[in-house]
Amino acid sequence: MMFIGAEIFIEPGQQEAEIDSWFAAMQQNGLGLTRIRMFENYMRQGEGWDFSLFDIAFKAAEKYDIKIYANLFPETHFSDVGGFKFPNTNEHLDAIANYIKNVIEHFRQFSSLYGWVPINEPGSGSLPDSAFTLDRFQQWKQSRSVQEYDSNGFTTLELAEKRFLVEYNTWFLGWLSEEIRKYDQTSPIHVNNHDIFRNAAEYDFPSWRKFLTSLGGSAHASWHFDYFQRPQFAVGMSANAEMLRSGAGPLPWFMTELQGGNNTYSGRQPICPTKEEIAQWLWINIGSGSQGGMFWCLNPRRSGFEAGEWAMLDFHSAPTDRLLMASSVSKTVSKYEDFFKDFSVHDSGISVLYTKESLWIEEVLQIDGVELEGRKVGGVMKSALSYFEALAEMGIHASFNEIAEFDFDKDNFSGKAIILSHQISIPSKYWKLITKFVSLGGKLIVDGLTAYYDENAYCVLGADFPLGSCFGASVNEFKLVENLFDLSINERSLILKAHLWRGSLKLFNAIPIATDKDLV
């Protein structure tokens, strides 16, 4: 089933008639799905519970036949806009469990309940400095098995925190999902990651598939697309969608949050979406296989950070041109319901891959100095995105996968291509798989400092370069030239622009296409 929807923000001070009018507006505009943040702060009365404010919303949803994703939002301070990402103490964990029990046992009675969102926007950027987290980190380190590959016995950088953060996110999401299933065994469980071009380094989507019903995401242009200029937002949205489609694997996916309205003080790159952008974002996600899209927000929150921002209704509760455009898309989807029930995304056979380890190593090697794109945080992801953008401009819709999400388990890769652009770390477990991919007919394109390091930031270049037979060459050295310099392609007399480093190669069986004097 495909839904176009918008979040309805519930907070104390709202009147019943006002809440009713928002659900009426949803129905009038053909929007069938909303999400509501289930603020414990607005339900908890000492040791007791008062769900009456949210009951009004759930009853209004029943009245107007609107389905609700209930977003669990345990107690936190008022200025915490996105919600905490991990528990602080064992007592806090118990309090979260108690909140989940009470909320689910109460709201599962409503026919308007569609499913649960266990946490808003997992992904913290770094480990929190709490005793609870540090204790679990120590337990994790003590229980880790000895790795078969040890970077040839060299002492390596400590990347344990990066690896633990990936597993820590998975653990907490799994724990929350288990708590939900204690009291509701059937309703869908869905989660929205966020700021994916940065936070992809801490997501293990294949592991999340074990407890999720569907995967989602927040793709807010003003918060999450600062790797792009506004004319490129469509590229950013498309890449974001493809990362979610890849992460979901066999599960359905749905874009949980899209920017619905204006920024005043929020957003790293403040905008107000145009109605054309609203339509474009929806169709891009649908074209990448999403079951629809939901906007943040239908009505503006009245108090706190983001007050008066993001809304698709104006301050007089009239629909904006953005809401009318979302309505038009929703009605088009409904009109052609039979088509949208049974369509699939065409596989071009081209996959742009990134690796979490490249994102980790790029970050830990940062120092202050002259800022050059290839050396900054973002260089790894932007390099991959550049190929995705170039292919899109040629009319080719590539997949965008974390390397662990790519299916290497095939007997024939003819007609398939992998692009590894400036993926500075290729973990050792993929060396044979990449070689197998090429030997079975696949095409491999690499550039930048791809495969400079293993998973431990150990430089693998040299006589024993593990991908030498696959690449047909090994790197002699890289020399930093300048920000942009010319690279001449011999056969076609092309002059291309290159960035920062010029590499020279020792050939095995590769055919050179670019030379500089006596260097390949």
| pLDDT value of residue 490 | 83
Based on the domain organization, do 297 and 400 belong to the same domain? Answer: no
Q: Evaluate whether residue 304 is within a structural domain.
A: yes
pTM for this entry: 0.96
Please state, in angstroms and rounded to a whole number, the distance separating the CA atoms of residues 120 and 123: 9
Based on the domain organization, do 23 and 74 belong to the same domain? Answer: yes
- Would you say 90 and 134 are in contact if contact means Cβ atoms under 8 Å apart? no
Based on the domain organization, do 337 and 355 belong to the same domain? Answer: no
| pLDDT value of residue 20 | 99
| pLDDT value of residue 81 | 85
* Tokens found for residue 380: 């790894």
Residues 6+ positions from 89 with CB-CB distance below 8 Å? 130, 131, 132
- Would you say 174 and 210 are in contact if contact means Cβ atoms under 8 Å apart? yes
Q: Evaluate whether residue 491 is within a structural domain.
A: no
- Would you say 493 and 480 are in contact if contact means Cβ atoms under 8 Å apart? no
Render pLDDT for 424-449 as a digit per residue (tens, 0 to 9): 999 999 999 999 999 999 999 999 99
Q: Evaluate whether residue 519 is within a structural domain.
A: no
Alpha carbon 113 to chain centroid, angstroms = 25
Asked whether the predicted pLDDT for residue 493 surpasses 90, the reply is no
Based on the domain organization, do 467 and 415 belong to the same domain? Answer: yes
Q: What is the mean pLDDT of residues 20-46?
A: 97
Half-sphere exposure of 485 toward its Cβ, with a 13 Å CA cutoff?
12
Based on the domain organization, do 355 and 206 belong to the same domain? Answer: no
Q: What are phi and psi of 46, to 5 degrees?
A: 65, -120
Mean pLDDT, the chain, whole residue set: 96
- Would you say 275 and 325 are in contact if contact means Cβ atoms under 8 Å apart? yes
Q: Evaluate whether residue 264 is within a structural domain.
A: yes
Please state, in angstroms and rounded to a whole number, the distance separating the CA atoms of residues 435 and 408: 10
Q: Evaluate whether residue 508 is within a structural domain.
A: no
Asked whether the predicted pLDDT for residue 1 surpasses 80, the reply is no
> How confident is residue 518, by pLDDT bands cut at 50, 70 and 90?
confident
Q: What is the mean pLDDT of residues 219-225?
A: 98
- The lowest-confidence range among 5-9, 204-208, 333-337 is 333-337
Q: Of the candidates 432, 455, 471, which is a domain's last residue? A: 471
> How confident is residue 342, by pLDDT bands cut at 50, 70 and 90?
confident
Amino acid at 293: G
Q: Evaluate whether residue 153 is within a structural domain.
A: no
In this structure, the chain runs to a length of 520
Encode burial over 486-514: b for 16+ CB neighbours within 10 A, e otherwise. Answer: eeeeeeeeeeeebbbbbbebeeeeeeeeb
Please state, in angstroms and rounded to a whole number, the distance separating the CA atoms of residues 415 and 437: 11
Render pLDDT for 102-129 as a digit per residue (tens, 0 to 9): 999 999 999 999 999 999 999 998 999 9
Based on the domain organization, do 271 and 387 belong to the same domain? Answer: no
In 327-395, DSSP assigns E strands to: 350-354
Q: What is the mean pLDDT of residues 395-419?
A: 98
Q: What are phi and psi of 45, to 5 degrees?
A: -120, 90
Is residue 240 left, alpha or beta, with left meaning phi > 0 and alpha meaning psi from -120 to 50?
alpha
Please state, in angstroms and rounded to a whole number, the distance separating the CA atoms of residues 15 and 23: 13
> How confident is residue 269, by pLDDT bands cut at 50, 70 and 90?
very high
Half-sphere exposure of 291 toward its Cβ, with a 13 Å CA cutoff?
17
Q: Evaluate whether residue 155 is within a structural domain.
A: no
Based on the domain organization, do 59 and 76 belong to the same domain? Answer: yes
- Would you say 164 and 140 are in contact if contact means Cβ atoms under 8 Å apart? yes
Based on the domain organization, do 358 and 275 belong to the same domain? Answer: no
Asked whether the predicted pLDDT for residue 254 surpasses 90, the reply is yes
Task: Outline where 394-446 has alpha helix (H).
Answer: 431-439
Q: CATH no. for residue 86? A: 3.20.20.80
| pLDDT value of residue 256 | 99
Q: Evaluate whether residue 483 is within a structural domain.
A: no
Q: Is the dihedral of CA 226, 229, 231, 234 positive or negative?
A: negative
> How confident is residue 189, by pLDDT bands cut at 50, 70 and 90?
very high
Based on the domain organization, do 406 and 337 belong to the same domain? Answer: no
Asked whether the predicted pLDDT for residue 519 surpasses 90, the reply is no
> How confident is residue 37, by pLDDT bands cut at 50, 70 and 90?
very high
Q: What is the mean pLDDT of residues 382-397?
A: 98
Q: CATH no. for residue 450? A: 3.40.50.880
- Would you say 454 and 383 are in contact if contact means Cβ atoms under 8 Å apart? no
Q: What is the span of the domain harbouring residue 30?
A: 3-128+161-341
Q: Of the candidates 312, 341, 370, which is a domain's last residue? A: 341
- Would you say 432 and 389 are in contact if contact means Cβ atoms under 8 Å apart? no
Closest CA to 278 of 220, 335, 196, 229: 220
Q: Of the candidates 433, 451, 471, which is a domain's last residue? A: 471
Number of domains in the chain: 2
Task: Outline where 431-514 has alpha helix (H).
Answer: 431-439, 468-471
Based on the domain organization, do 309 and 371 belong to the same domain? Answer: no
| pLDDT value of residue 23 | 99
- Would you say 519 and 504 are in contact if contact means Cβ atoms under 8 Å apart? yes
* Tokens found for residue 405: 């999400």
Based on the domain organization, do 69 and 25 belong to the same domain? Answer: yes
- Secondary element (H or E) of residue 241: helix 233-248
Render pLDDT for 291-307 as a digit per residue (tens, 0 to 9): 999 999 999 999 999 99
Residues 6+ positions from 302 with CB-CB distance below 8 Å? 11, 13, 14, 308
